[in-house]
Structure 1
C-alpha cells in the first residue's frame, strides 16, 4: 500500500508522517494527487524552457478559470509557476 493510502487510513506513525513532510511538504496534499502530478509536470516543463504540450496548456487554462474554487495552497502553487487568475 502506498504511503498516502496508509496515511488516510491512519496506519502511519506521527514520526513517519513528520519525516515524509520534511522530505516533501506536499507528499499528501488535501487535493487530488493527479492535480499535483500535473502541476509538477507543468512546472518541470517550464523550468526546462520546453514548449508546453497542448494537454498541459489546457490544464493551465482550466486552472485559471476555476482558480477561485481551488484550495489556497493550490492557488499559491499556481502563482509560483506563473498561472494567475
Structure 2
C-alpha cells in the first residue's frame, strides 16, 4: 500500500524548514512563520493601488470590477466603504483614503460620485450633459455637499 501518508511523513511536512527555524529571517521563529494580522498587507497594497488610481483618474470611485495590476481595487474600496459604515470612527486605512480623496466614501450613492467625476472630466459628453441637466432639475433634493461640488467645479451655477 505504500502510497498512504504515514504519521511520520505528516509530521515532517509540518516541521519548520531551515528558513523558518532561524530568528530574524523576516518573521520566522522556531515555531514557524509569524502570522500577520488579517488585512494589514491588503491595506498597504490597497492604499498603494488607491494612490496610483487617484493619480491617474483624480478620484477613488472606480467601478467595482476594476482590477489594477492584479489587485481587485474596486472590490477592495467597496469593502472599505462597507466597513466604514459599521464604524463610529475612521480606521487608519480609511483616514489614508480620505487624504487621497476626501469624497472616497460620500454619504450619497457612489454611483452619483462616479457620474460627477465623469461630468467633471467630460462636461460636453451627451451622457454627462443629461446627468447635469437632471442634477439641475433635482437641485433641492441634493445634499448640500453635492450642490457645493457641482457649483465649485463650475458644472452648474445656481
List alignment gaps of at least 5 residues for structure 2: 1-75
Based on CA coordinates, which of the two structures has the bigger radius of gyration?
2
SS of the residue aligned with 1:18? helix
The answer for the alignment partner of 1:56 in structure 2 is 128
List alignment gaps of at least 5 residues for structure 1: 47-51
Query: What do the CA deviations read for 1:19-67 (whole angstroms, capped 9, x no partner)?
Result: 2111111000000000000000111114xxxxx2222111100101111
Cα deviation, residue 73, structure 1: 0.4
Q: How many residues align?
A: 79
Moved over 6 A (4+): none
The answer for the alignment partner of 1:73 in structure 2 is 145
Which of 1 and 2 has higher RCO (CA within 8 Å, sep 6+)?
Answer: 1
- Richer in helix (by share): 1
RMSD: 1.8
Cα deviation, residue 75, structure 1: 0.2
SS of the residue aligned with 2:122? helix
